[in-house]
Structure formats: structure tokens, C-alpha cells
């Protein structure tokens, strides 16, 4: 083993604080077996890189340590450098002596120099335990599965199909189009909804690169990114899609069974054989087998001989490289708000029922009527936020579209019936999109009244008309008012398809919508590689945003599949089957679903493992290794940090790569000063921190241990920091049991931007440890930490 150590001056950024001569003397005195120690003015420059390559070739160096700036800046650069020189790129260790040393300790150069030496010692200890890693390549399937045929799914499918990718679209309803197909007009331009959507629906049906499965459901998805195997079930329509010509009047006119139309939200009637709506795609009737009496009349009159009572469920299967989840939303069930009397009072309806009334192809052919009298209402009230921003029904969130939907429908009513008295009862108006404020003020100018205050309840008067009891918060008065018609502007809820969630191992938020990888930086990527989320599947949003996300997920899928092959991540977890007892803890901990038990042994899908390390920290048998950061490597860093204690108190700190470590870097960039007492060990996730690491640190003499990860709920690995929190909470109890002050363990959840808070947390921790005193001689041996996993 021949190691080369390279120390960068970074101009004066490092050398102005850290004494380079002293540092080199310390290194040479400490390590007699190091092949070469060299300082370079600018290591990332072409001359600096060439010097490293020449040394590697001349001295046959097989491991390299770079002491310079943050690995988050130039790790890839130096991996490429040593690979060009013939060394495995994973036999590299970068020690951060700029952002986390010289820049934050410039007032204490001697101590900064000592800290730089300690960090290099820790780096060498880890470097000696590194193993060469290999990247394997796997071919991928170029097909894409789109689950859901709403506007987001349609946009994604067309984008992909136009780019030459084969798309399988699976929709559970008899027609694609989703909720948008049932709307009358869409805000803020008041375009005819079906007029702009229907051509896209037809294009999906006719596109040679799209295979459409309607009235179908997914039953199984196995495999991982690049190579998913999909199985599904197509339910019988009892009408042949190939033969049916869409002349629905012929068959439905003779059908003796009339039922409530689910596509009109129950206010219209259809026959047992019908078409969901006139512009449905495919243009094919279907028979509702729940109500069909089997009289055979429809088959007798069908001129195309399309009715087929013998149709059976059909299984289908295909392979796909990527999956797009565009399952949409559910409309809030207004009957859950009992105080509003929905389903109890006939003249209290929802905004979706009003949409179908206003629609020319709806049950009333565009005429808005009071359900109980069938007359045009003279006085109409809209109630906002029904089922949204409401803790009583478990939906504290805003549904984003309800305000504008109510304003839009109020305007349409006012245009058709100028004398109609229309009032909107709102909590706050959310009109934040382009043209929305103008849209809102235009409604006011039309004479539509806005009443600020929540409606308490709805009752009926003696004539059967709904009576609203509400508070006007602007006048600070309680009112009761009678209306002809009340429209509840209901919110959006998650389409909780537990089968899809379970098959793909997708995580969901507390509101039931699918969790995206990062709400700002990765808004359409899920926690599973190769699975993307579009539209309202990830939360309430407007049509234009759903369309934009449809294009975004298509772009992400193309970016993935255009490679033709995927590389396995050498940083993935690996199971030692000789040690594995098949307890299944790792399978439960991995929220990405990348660990499965086969023949009572855990197996990791190395192609799509995210490398967070939560499974390794949880394993009671130490049977799971993280190739990029083994237990042995971390233990060696801990021991090197504590080999000689030059200052008190000495803190070993485990920082997650994505937030806490980045936050420490930002503190350096911002030149925020904090005590030199901390020795940082970078881990990919706080969930990687095994309680045994903490106990080992105390055993070796650490006065304190700091574990820091992303803020709870914002983890790059979704649940990693929750795993860490659970372990550290238990560990604090264990510390108390073995007579170690639990305050010696400091746990922080910090975002990448909270550099001031990071510095303050170290200052406060140092002050706390100074009060407690040195670790003492009470710790003789680290206890077994298995039960804290």
C-alpha cells in the first residue's frame, strides 16, 4: 500500500491560516509509511492535477489523500484525476481543511493547524481501510408505464410518444380525461375544458407509440429502475372496442335500467349501457354489470354487433424502464361536513355538481336549476374551503383551486343570469396565479358579493329553502340568510391507491398525497429511482401546473432511458449472507423497498439502492456493509481523532452529507467562526450513524458526540433522519444507564442554509461540556448497542 498525501494552499485561503511547514512535519513524523507528502499552491488547477498524475505513475501510488476544499466541490474532479493515472477512483479520500478548518478558525492558527493534522490522520485511517470498487452496467428497457389518464398523464404520454418512446397508459375508468373532462370551462381564460382536452385524448388513442388500457388496473409491479415488470387486469366492457361505433342512442334507448350517473356526480341519469360522456375516449359504450339485468335488448338493436356478454377479464403484462404515477385526486365528500346538510338538503350541491349542470353536455344541458323545484335560482351562495383548511376533517391544507373555481362558476352564472344575486362566503381568497387577481377583481365589478367569514351551519326554512348562519368578520356580525341554491366549493383529497403505493414502495405525506424527493429541487421525482409523480398525485394543483409536470416527468423519463444502460452504484449496501439471520429489520427500515428476504436472507437491489446506510445501522448482526463507508472505516476515523487529545472538550461529530455537512461548508464560506473542538465525520445520512459509533467514541475518550442531519421531514432519504432520531432517543436512555451524562450526546436537525445555527450549536455544546467536565474514567468498555438499533 503506497499512499500519497497532497495538501492544497488554495492560494492563501488555507495557507494564510494553517502553517504548511508545521503540518508537513507533523505528518512525516506521524506516518513513516507514507510514500509522498506534497503541498501544492492550487491543486485543482491543470498543473496541480498533472503533478498528482506524475507522482502516481513515478512512485506507484495506489491510494491518494487530498487535503483541500470541501469534497462537495472537487471529489469528482480528483476521482477523475487518479483514474486517469490508473488508480481506482474510489481509493481517494478528501479532507476538508478549508471550509471546515482554515476559514472557520482563522483567529486561532495554531489550533487550526492541529485540527488540520487531526483531520488528515482521520483521513489516512479511513484511506487504509478503503477497497477498490467497481461500477457495473445494466441494460434498460425503453418503454414507459403511465398510471392514470388525466391531463397530467396525457401530457406525459404524448411527450414521450412523440419522442419515440413506447408508452403503456393504464386508466381505471372506462375513459381517459380525468376530472378535467367533466369541467365546463377552466380559469383564468375560461376556455371550454373539453374543447382543449378532447383533441389530446383522441391523439392518445390514435398515437402509434401509445398502448391504451382503459377500465383496467395494475395488479403487480416488480423489478427496479430500468427494468420494471408490470402486470394488470383489463375488466370487461361487454362491448367490443373494435366494433363499437359510439352510436350510443341505439343501445341505451332500449335499455330498461336507469341508474345514477357517476360522471355527473349523481345529479343525472344514465342507462346500464352507456358512454361516460359524449367525448369519451375510447368512443365505446360499456355495460355496468352491477346493474345490467341481461335482457339482451341492446345486443339485438346494435347495428355493429358490438355487444358481447361473453367478455372476460383479460390479464396483460409488459416491461418498462420507468413509471409515471399520475393518479389524480378525489373530490372531498361534502357529507362529512354534517353542519352543511349536503345529501340531507336537496338544494345544497357541490361545485362539481354545478360544473355538470353548467356543462352543455351535462344532465341539465347547461341550464342551472334548483334541484327541488327545477327552477332557475334567483339567489345563490358559494361556500369556500369545504373540506380544506379544516382540521375537523383532517385536511389542514389549502386545495389551491377552490377559490378560483368558485369565482369562475359565479362569473358564468352572472353572465347567463345577470339578475341573479350571488354571494361568495370565504375565509381568505387565494388568487395568486397569473391573471388571477384580475379575475378576482373582475368578479367584484360584475356585482358578485364577497362575504368574509366562515359559514357555521345550513338549515332549511319552512318552505324548504337552505338558510345560512354565518359571521361577517368585516362587519363583526352574525347573520342568517335564505338562498335558493347553495354551492359547496369542495376541496381535493389524495387518491389513496394503496395498491400502487405498496407495489412501488412510494411514501406518502400526512395528508395522503405522494411524497416527492424534494418539494423544491426535485418536485416530480419520487423516493424510488425510475418512478416519477405528476399532477395532483403529489398534492392539489391547477391544470396548467399539472400539464407542466406532465412534461417534466416525461423529460425526466427520457433523460433516464436515453442512456440505454444504467450503472450500479458502488456506494450501495451489501449483505454478508453468512452473518445474516433473516430477521427482516433491514427490510422494514428501508423505505425505498430495496431490500427483500429470499430464503431467509436479505438481498439488496444494488442497482437502485440509495446508499443512505439506515439498514446497516439497524442490523443487529452487522451483516450489512456500506461499501463507501464501512463500519471499520468509521471506527478507524473515530480512533484517529481521539488518539491524542490536544484540547478540551473534544467532540466527534457525525454530519449528514446533504444538509448538515453542506451547512458546515456554508459556515466556512460565510467565515462564521466557531470553536476548534469538533472533529467531523461525513456520513451520507444521519440514519447511517450506528449507536455503536457513539459508544465507541465515548470509550475512546470523546467528551461529546454530535449527530446532525436534515430537518425532520426534509431528509434526502425521506425517513433517514427519523430512523436516526429514534436510535439517538433510545441511546440517550442507554447512556444514562451506564453512567454517561446523556447531555454529552447532542442531536441537531439543521438545514443546509442554517450556518449561523450550526456554529451556535457547536458553541453551546462546548459550553455545556465544559460545565460537565472531561469524560472521566468511568467508561471502561463500550456496552453492546444492538438493542438501540
C-alpha cell at 599: 430464503
Which pLDDT band, with edges at 50, 70 and 90, does 164 fall under?
very high
Over its C-alpha atoms, the chain yields an Rg (Å, rounded) of 33
| Residue 787, pLDDT score | 43
Residue at 709 is within a domain: yes
In three-state secondary structure terms, 666 is: helix
Q: How far apart are CA 776 and CA 703, in angstroms?
A: 9
d(CA 211, CA 229): 16
Residue 314 and residue 352 in one domain: no
- Among 463, 493, 523, the domain-final residue is 493
* Contact present, 448 and 414 (Cβ < 8 Å): yes
The Cα–Cα gap between 262 and 172 comes to 14
* Predicted confidence band of residue 491 (pLDDT cuts 50, 70, 90): very high
Burial 586-619 (b: 16+ CB within 10 A, else e): bbebbbbbbbeeeeebbebbbbbbbbbbbbbbbb
The domain of 580 spans 568-615
- Are 689 and 635 found together in one domain? yes
Last residue of a domain, one of 469, 493, 517: 493
Widest pairwise Cα distance in the chain:
100
| Residue 730, CB-side half-sphere exposure with 13 Å CA sphere | 14
* C-alpha distance from residue 741 to each of 731, 735, 736 (Å): 11, 7, 6
Domain limit, last residue, from 493, 508, 530? 493
Cβ-contact 334, 387 below 8 angstroms: yes
The answer to whether residues 713 and 686 belong to one domain is yes
SS3 668: helix
6 lies in some domain: yes
Question: What is the rounded average pLDDT for all residues in the chain?
Answer: 94
Contact criterion met (CB below 8 Å) for 291 and 271: no
**pLDDT (0 to 100) of residue 259:** 94
Interval 201-247: pLDDT, tens = 999 999 999 999 999 999 999 998 999 999 999 999 999 999 999 99
Question: Is there a cis peptide before residue 176, judged by omega within 30 degrees of 0?
Answer: no
Report if residue 214 sits inside a domain: yes
149 within domain boundaries: no
**Residues 459, 392 within the same domain:** yes
715 and 651 both lie in a single domain: yes
More confident residue, 184 or 521: 184
What tens digit of pLDDT does each residue of 389-427 get? 999 999 999 999 999 999 999 999 999 999 999 999 999
Q: Is residue 174 part of a domain?
A: no
| Same-domain pairing of 480 and 590 | no
Task: Note whether 2 and 129 are same-domain residues.
Answer: yes
For 499-525, letters b (16+ CB in 10 Å) and e give ebbebbbbbeeeebbbbbbeeeeebbb
365 & 465 share domain: yes
Are 69 and 95 in contact, with CB atoms under 8 Å apart? no
Give the torsion sign (CA, 772, 776, 780, 781): positive
Q: Give 310-334 pLDDT, tens digit per residue.
A: 999 999 999 999 999 999 999 999 9
SS3 state at 395: strand
Q: What is the pLDDT of residues 726-756, one digit of tens each?
A: 999 999 999 999 999 999 999 999 999 999 9
The CATH number covering residue 452 comes to 3.50.50.60
Instruction: Specify the DSSP class assigned to residue 469.
Output: E
155 in a domain, yes or no?
Answer: no
> Domain holding 636: CATH number?
3.40.50
Question: Residue 784's pLDDT is what?
Answer: 53
Mean pLDDT (whole number) for 593-614:
90
**What pLDDT shows up at residue 645?**
84
Residue 445, number of CB atoms within 10 A of its CB:
7
Cα dihedral 659, 660, 662, 668 sign:
positive
Express each pLDDT in 264-290 by its tens digit.
Answer: 998 889 999 999 999 999 999 999 999
CA distances from 772 to 447, 736, 741, 744, 768 (A): 71, 14, 8, 8, 6
Say yes or no: 101 and 203 in one domain.
no
Query: Considering its fold, how many domains does the chain have in total?
Result: 5
**Arithmetic mean of pLDDT, 346-363:** 94
Residues 663 and 752 in one domain: yes
Phi, psi at 10, each rounded to 5°: 50, 50
CATH number of the domain at 227, please: 3.30.70.20
Residues 480 and 601 in one domain: no
Residue 468 lies in a domain: yes
DSSP state of 620: T
Residues 671 and 729 both lie in one domain: yes
pLDDT (mean) for 360-366 = 89
Other beta carbons within 10 Å of 463: 7
At 659 the three-state DSSP class reads coil
**Residue 148 included in any domain:** no
Q: Look at residue 780 and tell me whether its pLDDT is greater than 80.
A: no
Amino acid at each position: 500500500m503506497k499512499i500519497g498525501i497532497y495538501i492544497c494552499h488554495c492560494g492563501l485561503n488555507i495557507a494564510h491560516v494553517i502553517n504548511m511547514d508545521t503540518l508537513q512535519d507533523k505528518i512525516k513524523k506521524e506516518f513513516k509509511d507514507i510514500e509522498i507528502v506534497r503541498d501544492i499552491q492550487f491543486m485543482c488547477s491543470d498543473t496541480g492535477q498533472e503533478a498528482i498524475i506524475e507522482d502516481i505513475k513515478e512512485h506507484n501510488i495506489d491510494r491518494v489523500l487530498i487535503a483541500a476544499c470541501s469534497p462537495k466541490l472537487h471529489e469528482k474532479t480528483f476521482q477523475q484525476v487518479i483514474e486517469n493515472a490508473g488508480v481506482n477512483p474510489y481509493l481517494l479520500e478528501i479532507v476538508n481543511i478549508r471550509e471546515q478548518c482554515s476559514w472557520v478558525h482563522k483567529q486561532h492558527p495554531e489550533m487550526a493547524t492541529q485540527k488540520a493534522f487531526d483531520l488528515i490522520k482521520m483521513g489516512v485511517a479511513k484511506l487504509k481501510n478503503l477497497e477498490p470498487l467497481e461500477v457495473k452496467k445494466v441494460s434498460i428497457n425503453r418503454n414507459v408505464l403511465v398510471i392514470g389518464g388525466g391531463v397530467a398523464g396525457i401530457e406525459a404520454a404524448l411527450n414521450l410518444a412523440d419522442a419515440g418512446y413506447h408508452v403503456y397508459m393504464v386508466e381505471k375508468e372506462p375513459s381517459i380525461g380525468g376530472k378535467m373532462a367533466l369541467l365546463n370551462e377552466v380559469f383564468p381564460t375560461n376556455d371550454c375544458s373539453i374543447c382543449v382536452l378532447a383533441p389530446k385524448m383522441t391523439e392518445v388513442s390514435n398515437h402509434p407509440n401509445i398502448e391504451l388500457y382503459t377500465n383496467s388496473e395494475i395488479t403487480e409491479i416488480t423489478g427496479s429502475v430500468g427494468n420494471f415488470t408490470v402486470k394488470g387486469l383489463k375488466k370487461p366492457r361487454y362491448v367490443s372496442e373494435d366494433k363499437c361505433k359510439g352510436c350510443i342512442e341505439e343501445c341505451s334507448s332500449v335499455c330498461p335500467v336507469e341508474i345514477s350517473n357517476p360522471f355527473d356526480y349523481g345529479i343525472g341519469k344514465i342507462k346500464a349501457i352507456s358512454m361516460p360522456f359524449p367525448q369519451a375516449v375510447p368512443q365505446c359504450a360499456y355495460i355496468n354489470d352491477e346493474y345490467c339485468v341481461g335482457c339482451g335488448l341492446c345486443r339485438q338493436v346494435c347495428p355493429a354487433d358490438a355487444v358481447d356478454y361473453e367478455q372476460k377479464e383479460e390479464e396483460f403484462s409488459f416491461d418498462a424502464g420507468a413509471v409515471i404515477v399520475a393518479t389524480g385526486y378525489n373530490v372531498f365528500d361534502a357529507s362529512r361536513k354534517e353542519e352543511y346538510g349536503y345529501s340531507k338538503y336537496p338544494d345544497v350541491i357541490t361545485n362539481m355538481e354545478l360544473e355538470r349542470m353548467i356543462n352543455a353536455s351535462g344532465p341539465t344541458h347547461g341550464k342551472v336549476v334548483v334541484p327541488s323545484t327545477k327552477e332557475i335560482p334567483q339567489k345563490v351562495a358559494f361556500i369556500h374551503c369545504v373540506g380544506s383548511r379544516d382540521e375537523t376533517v383532517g385536511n389542514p391544507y389549502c386545495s389551491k383551486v377552490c377559490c378560483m373555481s368558485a369565482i369562475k362558476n359565479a362569473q358564468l352564472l352572472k353572465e347567463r343570469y345577470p339578475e341573479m344575486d350571488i354571494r361568495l362566503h370565504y375565509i381568505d381568497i387565494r388568487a395568486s396565479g397569473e391573471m388571477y387577481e384580475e379575475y378576482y377583481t373582475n368578479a367584484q365589478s360584475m356585482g358578485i358579493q364577497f362575504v368574509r367569514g366562515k359559514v357555521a351551519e345550513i338549515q332549511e326554512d319552512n318552505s324548504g329553502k337552505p338558510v345560512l348562519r354565518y359571521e361577517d368578520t368585516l362587519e363583526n356580525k352574525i347573520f342568517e340568510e335564505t338562498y335558493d341554491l347553495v354551492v359547496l366549493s369542495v376541496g381535493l383529497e389524495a387518491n389513496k391507491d394503496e395498491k400502487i403505493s405498496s407495489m412501488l414502495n412510494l411514501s406518502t405525506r400526512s395528508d395522503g398525497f405522494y411524497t416527492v424527493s424534494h418539494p423544491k429541487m426535485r418536485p416530480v421525482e419520487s423516493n424510488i429511482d425510475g418512478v416519477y409523480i405528476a399532477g395532483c398525485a403529489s398534492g392539489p394543483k391547477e391544470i396548467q401546473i399539472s400539464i407542466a409536470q406532465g412534461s417534466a416527468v416525461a423529460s425526466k423519463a427520457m433523460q433516464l432511458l436515453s442512456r440505454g444502460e444504467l450503472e450500479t452504484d458502488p456506494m450501495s449496501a451489501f449483505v454478508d449472507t453468512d452473518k445474516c439471520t433473516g430477521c427482516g429489520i433491514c427490510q422494514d427500515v428501508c423505505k425505498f423497498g430495496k431490500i427483500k428476504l429470499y430464503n431467509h436472507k436479505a438481498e439488496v437491489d444494488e442497482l437502485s439502492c440509495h446508499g443512505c446506510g439506515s439498514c446497516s445501522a439497524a442490523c443487529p448482526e452487522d451483516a450489512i456493509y456500506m461499501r463507501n463507508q464501512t463500519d471499520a472505516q468509521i471506527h478507524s476515523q473515530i480512533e484517529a481523532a481521539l488518539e491524542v487529545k490536544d484540547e478540551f472538550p473534544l467532540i466527534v461529530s457525525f454530519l449528514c452529507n446533504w444538509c448538515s455537512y453542506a451547512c458546515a461548508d456554508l459556515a466556512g464560506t460565510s467565515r462564521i467562526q466557531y470553536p476548534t473542538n469538533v472533529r467531523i465525520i461525513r456520513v451520507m445520512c444521519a440514519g447511517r450513524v450506528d449507536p455503536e459509533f457513539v459508544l465507541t467514541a465515548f470509550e475512546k475518550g470523546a467528551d461529546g458526540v454530535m449527530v446532525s442531519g436534515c430537518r425532520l421531514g426534509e431528509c434526502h432519504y425521506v425517513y433517514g433522519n427519523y430512523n436516526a432520531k429514534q436510535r439517538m432517543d433510545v441511546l440517550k436512555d442507554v447512556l444514562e444507564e451506564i453512567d454517561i451524562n446523556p447531555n454529552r450526546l447532542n442531536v441537531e436537525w439543521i438545514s443546509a442554509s442554517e450556518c449561523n445555527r450550526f456554529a451556535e450549536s457547536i458553541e453551546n455544546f462546548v459550553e455545556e461540556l465544559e460545565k460537565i467536565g472531561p469524560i472521566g474514567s468511568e467508561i471502561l468498555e463500550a456496552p453492546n448497542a444492538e438493542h438501540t438499533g
